[in-house]
Amino acid sequence: MAWVQKRQPSAVFFELVYDVKMLQELRKRDVKLGRQTINRLHFYGSIFLVLIIALFIGRVYISLLEPRKDFFNELWAPAYLLVHGQSPYDTSMFNPISPAAWLPMSIGFFYWLGWLEDTIALRAWFIASLFQLGFMVFLVQGKHRPLHVSLISGLFVFSFPPALYHLILGQFSLITTTCLILALHSVTKQRHWLTAFLLALALSKPQLCTVFIFGLSIYYFKQARWRGLLSFWARVLSMIVVLCLPLFIAHLNWIPDAVASMRANPYWLYPSLFIVFKINLGVLGVWAWALLALAVLGLGIILWNNFPLSVAGYWSLALALFITPYIGSWDFVILLPLWIFTFSKVHWGRKIFLIISFLLAWYGMNLVQRMESSDNYFFWWVPPWFMTSAALVTDWKDQIRLKSGTFPE
């Protein structure tokens, strides 16, 4: 301090002038980041942030995994029987909580899990499910992945209660959702056999594919009329047969056991609008549901004829939950692509609306879960809530202009 006090004021002034000139020179030499560099920074930063969220959720929930849940009953036990030359659908030797009910394409594709110990296979399935949730964030956003949008989308998917329940049970719905998203991308690139394979595997849970595969049928019919439609279904059926080949090779007479196992699947109150209408309105409720199903299919026709494939596809995934009678709350993960897609496309005012809507829904699901008489049926309101929120913020006119080519993609 003594040295500073002895300096002349003029010397201090000239040093300040020098510092200002030096800063100006450094700014002139500053290299501005190009658009591609910025996009790469956003991309890698998004990967890092989503990975951190996934690792945190994985760390917390892997200790909650329980053996002999859905993964064990529906996939590992059948795969184990298959690789040992036995009927994959006769799982009675394991005394399962419920009989195997997933369609054979899932067993045919994942038969190799039967060579692993059940606990190792369950942990591998859990890690794969975490990866799919993170992958969904990047795949649905498209090429434009702002860091803040990826972060909030990652928080959406990894805090979505049905997704967490899905992870604990070891369910298949994420595989179906991922396959349908990839099928949508492969259609745009005219990779028809890959599309057929992805659809065949996704159809292991056919109740989640109804509106989407109906829409794709419209798409192929528009491309080449009846020839295009029949070729599309011929490819899908061919891939279904291919995926079922391991079952025929290992145990030729598996079909009667599969039918018996699916018929023995216990009935419970599903969180579907079909059950809601039937319980509250009786026979009239069944007719009301039938009218709703027709309306949803009509909406599917409008979407696939007038909107871009991305819009039609993601809405079709979510709309399946309106009309399928047989669902569990873990199947609601199929809402996530629509939610991420909508959030990534709207401006900040509408983004805030979606964030508030998500938080309210999260709080509502938490209240239902904590009820003394809580039941999966009480989550029936979740799909209508999320789809209504997404519909309210979507600029439908802009999406139509996207389809017509008068609005930039």
Contact 212, 320 (CB under 8 A): yes
Average pLDDT value for residue range 32-47: 72
**Rounded CA separation 323/277 (Å):** 11
Q: Range with the lowest mean pLDDT among 77-81, 368-372, 397-401?
A: 397-401
Structure-model confidence comparison of residues 399 and 383, the more confident one: 383
When comparing pLDDT for 38 and 368, which is higher? 368
Helix (H, G, I), strand (E, B) or coil at 270: coil
Confidence of residue 24 (pLDDT cuts 50, 70, 90): low
Q: Which amino acid is located at 151 in the chain?
A: L
| Mean pLDDT of the region 119-125 | 95
H helices present in 7-117, as ranges: 9-29, 35-61, 70-71, 77-83, 104-109
Choose between 324 and 145: higher pLDDT: 324
Helix and strand numbers, DSSP H then E, in the chain: 20, 0
Cβ neighbours, 10 Å, residue 360: 12
DSSP 30: P
Contact 214, 297 (CB under 8 A): yes
Is the predicted pLDDT of residue 4 greater than 70, yes or no?
Answer: no
Model confidence at 27: pLDDT above 80: no
> What is the pLDDT at residue 404?
47
Q: Identify the top-confidence range among 31-40, 136-145, 292-301.
A: 292-301
- Say whether pLDDT at 304 is over 90: yes
Selected residue with higher pLDDT from 254 and 2: 254
pLDDT number for residue 15? 55
Higher-confidence position of 231 and 42: 231
CA distance 384 to 406: 32
